[in-house]
Structure 1
């Protein structure tokens, strides 16, 4: 997300000159993106809670993607409905946190990257996925994995080893250089637009994945209350990724403008959020319905309009709108660095330099 920040600088006193005067230097470091740099000490690796959050959200996205593609191949359904659950979200968070630790041990395979990336890491990843699948069935019989599933797991292991972990290791969290999210609008400098820490496309992907998580959690709770489904199975559609990703990205822009340019508080911004969300949902539903791809129908709900929107969900949209601000305030602190650096190991080393040698 974009971040309102000022250039952070560090001042230090040089050695006194013969005249007894001290020279103060204000070093300025240029960021790879061309934006104002941050002090080296202000950037640190992503907090653990943020990594858990991202791992779970990303895992749910993969569940939905794979299940929706499988359903499309079998039934040719243009709605592209996929499935996951809050339980699987937690399991993805835990397993990928463990895989992060495994990935950080790649320094032990220095000079043998093929062994690590093609044998060691994929073997552990496939083993964990098989374990999750058997636990998720909650049956006494061991669930057998087909050859196709093994191939898919292996491809995903290569993706995590070569793309996902490398990209995530570039993200840094910058706390002191951003304003306090809890501050009042009057305390924010209205003359400065937020600077972008992450590319817009990355934030679009984040919001799309978060939309998947929102719908899976909502539908799983709905099924638990209405149908007593204790499996906590939830569903969403691949079209929701585009709808949520684009909507939240534009609402984020609206948030930056209303808060930092106009100084509006959250309750003053809220009606604009809700109106925009309803308009966006109705527009997407109207277009998707022309192709039989609309995955929702509110015709049996009160206060609905053409079955595409309903005031019954107003409390939910209000909560999500307010939570959007929370997400924005967190993401504006994330920056993408140029160099690839991994998590610190037990000795306090950072294996970022090894990354260049191994890959």
Structure 2
């Protein structure tokens, strides 16, 4: 009996002493896991950044090629070009440039050297490399002075606008959309992206959709293995505005009126067809309409056709997915908020361990 009491006393004392030795390690382990989880919510995940970078690169391709076309022939259709391969290369290049931009802390006290010399040099080198990937086995393309100037201007855009804008975005997959929309309705607009940001995103995504669609079409119909596609710069405004309206409609019908997907879908399709017909009718008056469905069956005035109904249904379904993802992204007021928030999180976790 006494021996069992003695063993129990020793066991309790051993646990107490062991707790004093192992508890800091356990707390440090838990704090490290919490810090990693908190930090993962302070930045867009890698797959999302690659997705956005590819879309952004395609938008730049379309913008520059359409402006180049206007300068040469002055045609109001504003046709632009890109390809699936360029989309992938843009995603990887932007990802690498993100890492380069992160090295600016090594240039403390010398921001001019970084922003005007170091980063532009890396950017121009990468762009020349990407531009010559398809011709390395044939002939290296010489970059003109105008192209170098354009690349330099784009490098300044990346350092002063693009990277700072992406650095403000935070993604939290655990956000409850219903609670978030309730707060948003009460005026807490700091929790979601602004309307302008959503419009720009949908506009860029529309250009990506058309490049992917036309590239697949060219592959099937013309056996074009370059996977090159085309679109119009007007599509940026058309897709951006239409998706913005459908996005607002989704928030209202789904979260406020409780409409299911198959009840919302006909409304989406009707809006898309109305939008496409209206934009096409207006652009046709200025000879700026880039599509003509007159050779397709079940078309109306060559501006809309039921042949593309399955595609519009798929895009409508995907629209809801994009809306849900965007609802979980918020934009901080300052690019330094990320580092400050990380420091506060780390500081709080360290204080708890002591």
TM-score band by shorter chain is: 0.7 to 0.9
Partner of 1:93: 91
Give the RMSD, CA atoms, in angstroms: 2.2
Secondary structure of the residue aligned to 1:45 is coil
With over 3 angstroms needed to count, the CA separation of the structure-2 counterparts of 1:222 and 1:41, relative to structure 1, is: closer
With over 3 angstroms needed to count, the CA separation of the structure-2 counterparts of 1:138 and 1:211, relative to structure 1, is: farther
With over 3 angstroms needed to count, the CA separation of the structure-2 counterparts of 1:138 and 1:315, relative to structure 1, is: farther
1:111 matches 2:109: yes
1:78 matches 2:76: yes
Partner of 1:198: 193
d(CA) in 1 for partners of 2:219, 2:122: 33
Cα deviation digits, residues 237-259 of structure 1 (max 9, x gap): 01000000000000001101110
1:51 matches 2:46: no
Cα deviation digits, residues 94-149 of structure 1 (max 9, x gap): 01101100100101000011110011000000000001110134642111111111
d(CA) in 2 for partners of 1:270, 1:164: 34
Superposed, which structure 2 residues align to 1:96-245 within 5 Å?
Answer: 96-137=94-135, 139-179=137-177, 192=182, 196=189, 197-245=192-240
- Give the conservation status (yes or no) of the 8 Å contact 2:42–2:338: no
Partner of 1:254: 249
With over 3 angstroms needed to count, the CA separation of the structure-2 counterparts of 1:190 and 1:76, relative to structure 1, is: closer
Partner of 2:302: 307
- Give the conservation status (yes or no) of the 8 Å contact 1:194–1:256: no
d(CA) in 1 for partners of 2:155, 2:47: 23
Q: Comparing both structures, which one devotes a greater share of its residues to helix?
A: 2
- Give the conservation status (yes or no) of the 8 Å contact 2:63–2:233: yes
Q: Which has the larger radius of gyration?
A: 2
The offset of 1:43, in angstroms, is 4.0
With over 3 angstroms needed to count, the CA separation of the structure-2 counterparts of 1:178 and 1:190, relative to structure 1, is: closer
Moved over 3 A (4+): 40-43, 136-139, 188-196, 341-344
d(CA) in 1 for partners of 2:183, 2:292: 40
TM-score, normalized by length of structure 1?
0.80
TM-score, normalized by length of structure 2?
0.81
d(CA) in 1 for partners of 2:295, 2:39: 56
- Give the conservation status (yes or no) of the 8 Å contact 1:193–1:260: no
Unpaired stretches in structure 2, ≥5 consecutive residues: 1-37, 345-354
d(CA) in 1 for partners of 2:206, 2:82: 13
The offset of 1:262, in angstroms, is 1.0
